[in-house]
Structures are given as C-alpha cells and as structure tokens.
Amino acid sequence: MSNENFDPIIVGFFCNWCSYRAADLAGSARIKYPSNVRIIRVMCSGRVDPTFVLKALADGADGVMIAGCHPGECHYINQNYKAMRRYEMLKHTLSAMGVEPERVRLVWASAAEGQQLAEAIDELVGDVRRLGPLHWLQNWDENGQRQKALDDIVKEHEEAMEVSA
Amino acid sequence: MADKIGIYVCHCGSNIAGTIDVEEVARWAGKNIEGVVVSRDYKFMCSSLGQQMIEDDIKNEGLTGVVVGACSPHLHEKTFRNACKRAGLNPFLCQMTNLREHVSWVNSDKAAGTKKAKALIFAAAERVKRQKPLEPMEVEVNPATLVVGGGIAGLQATLELADAGYPVYLVEREPSIGGHMAQFDKTFPTLDCSACILTPKMSEVGQHENVTLLTYSELEEVSGSVGNFKVKIRKKARYVDEDKCTGCGICIEKCPRKVIDNAFEAGMGYRKAIYSPFPQAVPRIPVIDTENCTWFTRGKCRVCSKVCPTDAVDYDQKDETVELNVGNIIMATGWKLFDCKRIPQYGFGRLANVYTSMEFERLCNAAGPTSGKIVMRDGKTEPKSVAIVHCVGSRDVNFNPYCSAVCCMAALKFGHLVLEKTKAEVYSFYIDIRTPMKEYEEFYQRLLGEGMHFIRGKVAEVTDAARRPEEHGKLIVQAEDTLLGKQRRIPVDMVILMGGLEPQADAKELGLKCGISCSMAGWYTERHPKLDPVATMTDGVFVAGVCQGPKDIPAAVAQGAAAAARVAGMIAKGIVTIEPIVASIDEENCSGCRICNDLCPFNAIEYDEEKKVSRVITALCKGCGTCVAACPAGVITGAHFNNEQIFAEIDGILWDANPQAEVEIASV
Amino acid sequence: MKYAYYPGCSLERNAAAYDHSVREVSDLLGIKLQEIDDWNCCGATEYFSQNELAACAVIARNLALVEPQTDQIVAPCAACYLNLAKTDKLMVDHPEFGKEVNQCLAAGGLKYEPGRVTVRHMLDVIVDDIGETAVRDKVVRPLAGLRVAPYYGCQVVRPIDNNDNPEYPMKMDHLLNWLGAEVVDYPVKAHCCGGHLTQISEPQAFELIRRLLQNAQDYNADMIICMCPMCQLNLDGYQSRVNGFFGTEFKLPIMYFTQMLGIAFGIDPQKLGFGKELVTAMPVLEAKLGGLLV
C-alpha cells in the first residue's frame, strides 16, 4: 500500500487565533513544509464538526489535521477541550468505518509555534504517505479492529453521558 | 440571482509569484470555476490601484462575491472588505485566501505551489457563493465602570476614570484599599516613603464623588457583555454599620482580644479581633474577625458594642449582595507572595531568623511592629550580617519558571536599608541582577559603592548545622559562587528570602467569571502581548497591574491608567460595534435537548422553559461555533461559518482529489 | 501485597539486622516478600563508573529474574535500590542501550523488558502502600519520649520521583511520628555519609560523618534512624574512629527504621537484630521506653 511517490492530500481545519497564526508565522519565517496540507480557517477547533472530517475523507482527502490553541490557552476559554473530546470519539468512529485513525490528527499550536506546526505537518504527511491512499471501502469489511471500535464507541458514549448528567 | 464572482490573485511582488504561477491560477480560475466572471492577477493587490480595480469590477460587472488570493487575512482582510464596502458590496461577501504565508513562503516547488493555490482559490470561490451579507451590531455603553482590586493599579484606573467624570465602582476584598504597596516601607529606586505617595491617592479615591467604594467585598458573578455588564458583588458582613461608624477607633483600642496579623503585618505583628488593617486605612471602618472575636467564639464580651459612641457595632449583620450595571470591567487583582515554605532547605518557618521579603518590609517599616528597627526575632538584637537570597521560587523549573521582575530591585532596597540602619554586612546571593528600568542600574551601582556584597550563585541551603567554629550560632548560607567557581558558606545572623510573585489563588476562577483566561503561569492573558497589553479577548474586560504579569509600581500605575484610557474612550464614543459572527438557533426545529447549554463558556445560550427551546443571547456570543458543531439536530447556525459554507469550502479545496470510496456519511 | 525481594549483599552480612527486621515487620504488616531466586550483587556504587554496560547488565539480570506475575521489586539497601531503578530508567529512556543490555542478558538465556518491573524502596512500600492507619493500628509499644533523628542519606531521595521532596525529605519523619517517637527536624538529614570514601580518604570521610553526628547531637537526638546499610556502617562502625580522630565523644546508636517499627510493633528485639550495632542502643531504649524491652 505504501508508496513513495504517492502525494497525499490533507485538509487542515485550523482555529483562527492560534494555529492559523502559527501557519502564518511558519510562512513569515520561510519554514518549508510539504504542500500537501490545505488549510481551512474556522474560528475555533471547537467548531470542527466530525462531519467535516468525514466529508473531507469521503471527498478524497487522505488525511485531516485539526489544529487548535494549547489547552488552557483557548481564545474561547476551553472550547479546545471539547475538540479534544470529539477527537477521541471520532477516532473510534473512524476505526469502525475502516479508516486508520492515524490519518486524522489533532495538534496544538500556539501563534508562536510555526516551527512546531511545520514539524507536525511533516510528520502527518509522512505517516499518511506510509499508510498510502485511503482504502475506505476495502477496509470497511476487512479490518478486524472494526468490531472493537464499534464497542468502544458505545462504551465512550455511555461514559460521556455519565459525565454530562 | 446568478453568481458573479471576481477572482483576484496577487503577485505580492515576487513573494507569491516566485513560487506560484499566478497568471496560470487566474486564467484557470476564470475558465474552470462556475460563476466566475472576472479573474485577474496583479502585482500588488493591496495597493490603491489594486483596490480600485476590485471596486471598479464590482460596479461595472455587478459582482456578487469577491475572492482575493493574497496574504494572510489577518493582515489585509479589513483592507479588501473596506474596498468592497466602498463599491457597495457587503464586506462579508469578500473572502480572502492565504497564498503567501500558507503556500508560496513555505514551499519551493512551483508546480506543487500552483496546484495548492488553485485548490485554495476554488475553495474560497465555492465558499463566497454561499456567504451572506452581515451587518455589525451596535450597543450603547453604560458609562459606569467596575474596577476589581484596590491596589495601586486599581486605584490609578479608578482615579483616571473618576476624574474624567465617569462613575466607578471599586471592589476590594480586604477591609481597606491600598493593596501590597501599603505594606511597603520605601519604594525603589528613589526610596520615597511608600505610604507618603500612596495614602493621598487612597484618600482621594475614598472621598471622590464619582467613586463608590465596596471594600471587604468579593466579585461573585458577571453576566452581560461589553457595554452592559451586570455584576453581583458580595459585601461581606463587617459587623459594623458603615453609615453609623465614624472611624474613631475606640472599639479597636478597647478590644481585649489580640491576634497575630498574618495579612497586613505578614505575621510580624498583632491586631485586635475588631480591626482596621492599618492606621491610614480607607475606609476607616473596622471589621470584626469572627474566628477570633470572643463574642462570636464564646458568646461573651461585647466590649466594642458597649464602647461605640454611635452604636455602630451590629453582631447580626449578614453578607449582602449588591447588583450593579456597568459598561466595562477592569481587573486589577494583584498577586500573592510565593510560599517560601515550599523550599524547605531554605529554612523558613523552621529557622527563626529566616524572613520572607514581605516580613522584612514590615520589619523596616517605620509604622511596623518594631517601628522600623531592624532586629532579629528576639525583638532586640541587631543583626551583624544579613544574607538576601534572590529568586526564591522564581526562575526555578521546580516552582515558577518566570522572573518575578521586582525582587532584584527590592533586594537592593533592602540592602540599602540594612546598611543605613545597622552596621551589618549584607550579602546578596543572585543568579543575575536585573535592573532594566529608569535609574535602576544607577541604584545597583550605588549599592556596590555602599559596600553590599554580591555573590553570584543560587543558594543550595540555609542551615544551622555549623562546620567551623565561626559558624556556631549562625545561619549558614551555602551556594556555589559561579564567578569564583567555588562553594561558599557565609555565616550570617539573618536571612531574607526574596519570594517571587504568584497569581492570586483564585485568579483563574475570577477570570472565568468575566470570561478571561490565564497563561500557563496563571497571569491574565492580554489581547496581544505587545500591541494590546491592557485589553483581553473579552470585549469590555481590561487588565491592569500584576494580575497580568509581574511588574513594578510604575508599570502597574501606567497599565492602570492605560486601561482607564481605553475604557474612557469607549464611554466617550458611547457605542460599541459587535462582530456579527455569532450563532443563532432555529427555534422551530430545536428539540430542547439542552446539549448546547453547557457547552458555552460565556453563558450565551439560555433555555426558554416555557417554549422548551434554547436561545442564543447574541450580545454574549463570541462566535466560536462549538455549539454549532454539537447540535444533534443541526439547527444552530454559525453566521459566516455555517455548515453549507464550510462544506462548500471542503468540496472546493478537494477539487482535484479522487474520492476513493463512495460511502454516504448518512448511511453510517 | 506481594513484592519480589532483593536483599542485596550487605543485608546478608553487616546489615543482617536490616534484613531480619525487614522480614519481621513485613510479615506483621502483610507485605509478602518473595526473595528473587539466585540474585546477584548490584555492583554497588563503583561499578557504574568502570563499565556502564557491564554494570547495567549485572543489575538487569536481577530484574530479569523477577517472576512474570510480579511487577514490583523491593530493595531495602539504598545503593541496590538506586542501581536497579537507574538501570531500568536507562533502558527505558535509551532503547538502543536497552537492546545492548538485553544482548548481554541473552548470553545467560535471560531477557528484560524495560519498564516491566517497578523498583521500590522499603520505606516507600510501608509509607505509601501500607499507609498511616495500618501502621498506627499495629503500634503496641509507642516510642513516646524517644528523640529520633531520621537520616535519609543521599541515594534514595535524590534522582527518583518517589513522592517526597528530594532536598528535604519527610517520609521517614512521618513514619517515625506514627510510631509515637519525637522526631528531630535537623538540617543535614539528606546529606552524604561519605559512602566508600572511608576506603579512599579517611580525613574527608570522617569529616562528613562527624557533621552528621554533630548535628544530630546538637538537636538532642537520642539516636539516628537510617535506611541504608552504607550509612549505618559509616555512622556506627566508624563512630569510635571519628571520636578518636576529632577528640569528640559521640555515643549515638544508629538503627534501621525497620528495627524501630519492629520495637513499636512489640516484636522481640532479638529477632530484629538489636545487639548487632556497635554503639549499643539498649541503654537509651531502656532509659526512654522503660522496662518494655525485657
């Protein structure tokens, strides 16, 4: 599956305050990173509806990067924690659907972390390249982890309900 | 109406054109994207000629949407939105996409860059077709301001606003305003007496016709938003009627119960169970400390009530909640001293003659427990040698990594006072001496001249375990002298620990009440660390003084004044505009599940018990969109970032991708 | 609670009192110690500076011998504890090095997966795992009136996160407090005893020992309580030499904390190894605790 020449497309959902500015900083500092990541600006990582991620993958993206402010530094106090919780749930959903969860990554980047963001992009592009193009349909049935992932979703859901109750 | 989109691709000189074939991008967009009627590239799109070109196209072609592919929207979004506005197009129908910081500058492969630029332009075009015209909202600003914290920063802010003719409510949790500065003896580097410069300001505030003083009070709750905050203040029971009390002080004099004063006197002196923290307190109305008062603990005494000439003592007084309406809030909540017991090897609390810096302030204060005589704990012996330990809890990965900014100068001040008042030798153990402000370095040079000894080394321990005869009965300060490259043991009589500055214990909790956050260290986060150090991310909430980060008195005063100036500007203008990027709920389709209610940290979603639906309070919404993403029914819309717009953006950004799987998300 | 037990060489000989009291006290507290079969010396403090790989391999052999169903190993000796913990950490932090160590172990048909076994000191097991209530419950002969100076030494407290302040540890202070003793809070409790310096340079070593004894005496301690055979040896075994060297008259018994636990728990002092120390503890114990020790 892995292919050295494979050029993945990765969609980034970046929060307006920290991570989008980190990407701006990476640019101003002329830090080079692979051009595979295409960034969509949202106001907050908390705005990232899991549907966005699924849609991007369904539309042909090979990976997704969600980027937000560091925990404790959210422009909206603590909405990045909500992104974090959704991300954990989303990973199980992805496994259940036959998508390797490593294709979707949540990273924190403060507005000062252009270098760190570029490194995270490097890493994700490398990982997705190793995974190869998204084999959603094939994995749908073959992936043995699927049942476990489905069970995990149910469990997490129950736990989440307990917390919010 | 059919879409008429204009695409504008900027060269930015060679900044973008160097690694993106901009002409190709513009040509391609004009041909391949539906609804595009003009597509141009230009050397500098942000120049007046570039803007003019866009304006002309809007007018001549009747554009319904504009896409500018240039630099970061954080730089020029306003520029292009204004251009659109001038040409009669709603500014929210202009979409920028970042071809410079996100493409050309991070990439050297022209083919890859061009391909990525096309995707970004496509995404922006698909998005802009679905954008809606939006209008900023305007609200009136209540001219009253709440200042939280009556230290020097809060006092300055209060006075600036009150003098400008605006009403101010000043809330202070202690019985008197004045803050830490009231505890100090001298101020560096001029050695002005702290009380002499502070107390006039305190009484000015106390008597000002525009100031309502709420001392011994806590900020309980904040609701509303910029221009119209509603705040609840809890006035703690003083057990003394503020209206009747004349501040004569006879109750304090006659009170039979003496208590160690751990607050104002830092444990160095006593106060009574009914007390005013210090003689120049404002207001001069005492409070009863119920934990120690004989009446409250044992049901006997009532001496204060008996001696009060105006019958002001009221043992039945209860806490009282005051509700206020204000337009802006200035947080000036200050700091607390690092707890020196956290570094047990420095001996504070175990070795009698180890002092904290705050204890020493009281010790050399003329109004302090020893009337300013520098003596050891026995109350009479003058020290023959004093060691001052810098950076206690500061610049230390085990405690606080930051520099507390004031301790070096305070240590120099202490050194000067010891040398002036005693014959003692003074040793300063420092990591670096930091004296960056006006006349600070000169003060350091002065102390070098006065004979203060400086040993560059972080202290390992303060001990009474003598090794040599001359160490017996002394405190031995051990440190590696990094300039000599040697271990040194200096026997002294007294040790002063320069404890660092820490955020108030409840700073975070208090910040959350008014929607502002803290840095990792716990200091309030300003809107911009350099260019906007007094505003916060929450409109209408400002910060001043050490609560925003360690600083000295001049800086705290400057920040207090700056915060006041910002508030005064808003009051003078009378109205504020609020970004229209907010969420709204389609009440018709809301199931009333209330999932969104708890997600909002700004309490901007209310639940209508009658209609059983949730509703966004537009004035409170900051537009993060978290509730939009969470609504299981999909009935919350985030203006300018709605699902349709973002979906279209995803579609566009993946124009060249090849869907691998035809899985319908809906079927999952 | 079950732990693999690594006594180490000292506990077989000069620190036999430590070994006996550890076993007695563990029995009483329900700590199940299973001695590692065929354990070997940890190499003490010196071997590391000679040949790190060989030193680690020697130590890792003991970790590899821990039964698969046990994931905690207890060492009462400070040097053993430090060596075991250090080796495990080196193998975890530097996987390449870990592989080299495992190549060495393979020669003996052994393998150790870094991080599998948690290395614990006896003091941590009693204070953290057993805890205050269980310890207090067992006290039948409170050490009231006895002024004890807890001495931590330098090896156990410093490099490893064991839930205590490395610069000013308090764990043994708390434990002795639970036994009813008067705990002396003296400043040198985590200073070095000199270790093997007695073999290299006596004057320096004696000075280090003198400082500890002097400070404990200045604080009116009746005895020093230690947790390391090396410390005990230096402070007890060299006490008369130190007295001769400096003209001092120290007469401070140096006991293991497990011996004090045993006394407080009412165990026969004989079984706890009392009497093996050179500066005898009996007179002060009898004076302070009365006829309880008969």
Domain stop point among B130, B163, B198: B130
For the entire predicted model, the pTM comes to: 0.81
Instruction: Confirm whether A154 is domain-assigned.
Output: no
Could you write out the DSSP letters of every residue in B588-632?
TT-----TTGGG-TT--EEEETTTTEEEE-TTT-----HHHHH-T
Domain stop point among B478, B502, B526: B502
CA-based radius of gyration for chain C: 19
**Best mean pLDDT range from A64-78, A135-149, C202-216:** C202-216
**Are B296 and B346 in the same domain?**
no
**Best mean pLDDT range from A73-77, B244-248, B663-667:** B244-248
Instruction: Report pLDDT digits (tens) over C5-43.
Output: 999 999 999 999 999 999 999 999 999 999 999 999 998
Instruction: Confirm whether B653 is domain-assigned.
Output: no
Domain count across chain B: 5
Give me the long-range contacts of B312-317 (CB less than 8 A, separation at least 24).
B312/B240, B312/B241, B312/B244, B312/B245, B312/B246, B313/B239, B313/B240, B313/B241, B313/B251, B313/B274, B313/B288, B314/B239, B314/B240, B314/B241, B315/B239, B315/B288, B317/B237, B317/B238, B317/B239, B317/B240, B317/B241
Nearest CA in chain A to B652: A59
Of the pLDDT bands very low, low, confident and very high (cuts 50, 70, 90), residue A164 is very low
**Are B66 and B210 in the same domain?**
no
Name the H helices within B331-391: 357-364
Residue from the list C165, C185, C187 with its beta carbon closest to the beta carbon of B463:
C187
Instruction: Confirm whether B612 is domain-assigned.
Output: yes
Instruction: Report pLDDT digits (tens) over B74-83.
Output: 889 999 999 9
Say what the pLDDT of residue B292 is: 96
Say what the pLDDT of residue C294 is: 47
Task: Tell me what the mean pLDDT of segment B326-333 comes to.
Answer: 98
Task: Tell me what the mean pLDDT of segment C127-154 comes to.
Answer: 95
Of the pLDDT bands very low, low, confident and very high (cuts 50, 70, 90), residue A165 is very low
Residue B105 to residue A30, Cβ atoms within 8 A? yes
Is pLDDT at B543 greater than 50 in this prediction? yes
**Are B415 and B298 in the same domain?**
no
Is pLDDT at B517 greater than 90 in this prediction? no
Task: Tell me what the mean pLDDT of segment B508-534 comes to.
Answer: 86
Q: C118 has which bridge partners?
A: C72
| Residue A68 to chain B, least CA–CA distance (Å) | 12
Mean pLDDT of chain B, nearest integer: 94
| Residue B453 to chain C, least CA–CA distance (Å) | 26
For B584-611, b where at least 16 C-beta lie within 10 A, e where not — what string?
bbeeeebeeeebbeebbbbebbeeeeee
- Structural element, H or E, at residue B9: strand B5-10
Sheet of B168-171, strands arranged across = B211-214, B168-171, B145-148, B328-331, B541-543
Instruction: Confirm whether A104 is domain-assigned.
Output: yes
Which range is least confidently modeled, A135-149, B28-42, B603-617, B625-639?
A: A135-149
Chains C and A touch (3+ CB pairs under 8 A): no
- Structural element, H or E, at residue B638: strand B636-638
Determine the residue type at C17.
A
Question: Beta-carbon neighbour count of residue A56 at 10 Å?
Answer: 27
Structure tokens at C184: 């002396």
Instruction: Confirm whether A155 is domain-assigned.
Output: no
| Residue C195 to chain B, least CA–CA distance (Å) | 19
The count of C-alpha atoms lying within 13 angstroms of the C-alpha of B80, restricted to the half-sphere facing its C-beta, is 31
For C34, the 3-state DSSP assignment is strand
Instruction: Confirm whether B30 is domain-assigned.
Output: yes
- A90 lies in which domain range? 10-136
Task: Tell me what the mean pLDDT of segment B185-204 comes to.
Answer: 95
Task: Name which residue leads in pLDDT, A94 or B330.
Answer: B330
Q: Show the CA angle centred on residue C34, arms to residues C31 and C36, nearest 5°.
A: 145
Task: Tell me what the mean pLDDT of segment B649-660 comes to.
Answer: 85
The count of C-alpha atoms lying within 13 angstroms of the C-alpha of B616, restricted to the half-sphere facing its C-beta, is 28
- Structural element, H or E, at residue B224: strand B217-225
**Are B545 and B570 in the same domain?**
yes
Instruction: Report pLDDT digits (tens) over B145-166.
Output: 999 999 999 999 999 999 999 9
A154 close contact with B: CB closer than 8 A: no
Of the pLDDT bands very low, low, confident and very high (cuts 50, 70, 90), residue B665 is very low
Instruction: Report pLDDT digits (tens) over A54-66.
Output: 999 988 999 999 9
- Residue labelled with tokens 């970042």: B98
Neighbouring subunits of C (3+ Cβ pairs under 8 A): B
Instruction: Confirm whether A159 is domain-assigned.
Output: no
**B-proximal residues of C, 166-195, CB under 8 Å:** 167-168, 185-188
Say what the pLDDT of residue A98 is: 82
Report how far apart, in Å, the C-alpha atoms of B496 and of each of A139, B120, B370, B415, B602 are: 68, 61, 17, 10, 44
Is pLDDT at A110 greater than 90 in this prediction? no
Instruction: Report pLDDT digits (tens) over B195-248.
Output: 999 999 999 999 999 999 999 999 999 988 899 999 999 999 999 999 999 999
Instruction: Confirm whether B89 is domain-assigned.
Output: yes
Could you write out the DSSP letters of every residue in B487-500?
EEEEEESEEEEEE-
Instruction: Confirm whether B138 is domain-assigned.
Output: no
B195 close contact with A: CB closer than 8 A: no
Is pLDDT at C287 greater than 50 in this prediction? yes
Q: Whole-angstrom Cα distance, residue B232 to residue C109?
A: 73
Domain of residue A100, CATH code: 3.40.50.960
Instruction: Confirm whether A100 is domain-assigned.
Output: yes
Task: Tell me what the mean pLDDT of segment B243-255 comes to.
Answer: 95
A28 close contact with B: CB closer than 8 A: yes
Instruction: Report pLDDT digits (tens) over A27-46.
Output: 998 999 999 999 999 999 99
Is pLDDT at A142 greater than 70 in this prediction? no
Phi, psi of C143 (to 5 degrees): -90, 35
Which range is least confidently modeled, A93-97, B18-22, B131-135, B425-429?
A: A93-97
pLDDT > 70 fraction of chain B, expressed in percent and rounded: 98
Task: Name which residue leads in pLDDT, A96 or B581.
Answer: B581
Say what the pLDDT of residue B664 is: 40
**Are B341 and B485 in the same domain?**
yes
Instruction: Confirm whether A28 is domain-assigned.
Output: yes
Dihedral of CA B338/B342/B345/B347: which sign? Answer: positive
**Are B38 and B25 in the same domain?**
yes
Q: Whole-angstrom Cα distance, residue A7 to residue A133?
A: 9
Could you say which DSSP state residue C159 is in?
A: S
Say what the pLDDT of residue B54 is: 97
Instruction: Confirm whether B647 is domain-assigned.
Output: no
- With 0-12 CB in 10 A as exposed, 13-18 as middle and 19+ as buried, what is C292? middle
Domain count across chain A: 1
pLDDT > 90 fraction of chain B, expressed in percent and rounded: 89
Domain stop point among B469, B502, B535: B502
Q: What are the structural domains of chain C?
A: 2-121 (1.20.1050.140), 140-293 (3.40.50.11810)
Is pLDDT at A153 greater than 90 in this prediction? no
Phi, psi of B572 (to 5 degrees): -60, -40
Task: Tell me what the mean pLDDT of segment C228-252 comes to.
Answer: 96
Q: How far is CA C31 from the centre of its chain?
A: 17
Instruction: Report pLDDT digits (tens) over C87-125.
Output: 999 999 999 999 999 999 999 999 999 999 999 999 999
- B629 lies in which domain range? 583-639
- Structural element, H or E, at residue B231: strand B228-235
Domain of residue B508, CATH code: 3.50.50.60
Nearest CA in chain B to A138: B661
Instruction: Confirm whether B644 is domain-assigned.
Output: no
Is pLDDT at A140 greater than 80 in this prediction? no
Instruction: Confirm whether A147 is domain-assigned.
Output: no
Say what the pLDDT of residue A5 is: 79
**Are B314 and B326 in the same domain?**
no
CA-nearest of B536, B489, B496 to B514 is: B536
Determine the residue type at C143.
L
Residue from the list B512, B643, B657 with its beta carbon closest to the beta carbon of A59:
B657
**B-proximal residues of A, 66-105, CB under 8 Å:** 72-79, 82-83, 86, 93, 97
**Are B78 and B160 in the same domain?**
no
Report chain C residues whose CB lies below 8 A from the CB of B343: 167
Domain of residue B631, CATH code: 3.30.70.20
Of the pLDDT bands very low, low, confident and very high (cuts 50, 70, 90), residue B528 is confident
Residue A136 to residue B116, Cβ atoms within 8 A? no
**Are B483 and B511 in the same domain?**
no
Instruction: Confirm whether A43 is domain-assigned.
Output: yes
**Are B163 and B284 in the same domain?**
no
Angle between helices A19-28 and A114-131 (to 10 degrees): 100
**Are B374 and B459 in the same domain?**
yes
| Residue B343 to chain C, least CA–CA distance (Å) | 8
C37 close contact with B: CB closer than 8 A: no
Instruction: State the complex-level ipTM.
Output: 0.90
Residue from the list A35, A49, A134 with its beta carbon closest to the beta carbon of B103:
A35
Task: Tell me what the mean pLDDT of segment C271-293 comes to.
Answer: 87
Report how far apart, in Å, the C-alpha atoms of B546 and of each of B188, B191, B351 are: 17, 21, 30
**Are B383 and B272 in the same domain?**
no
- Structural element, H or E, at residue C25: helix C16-29
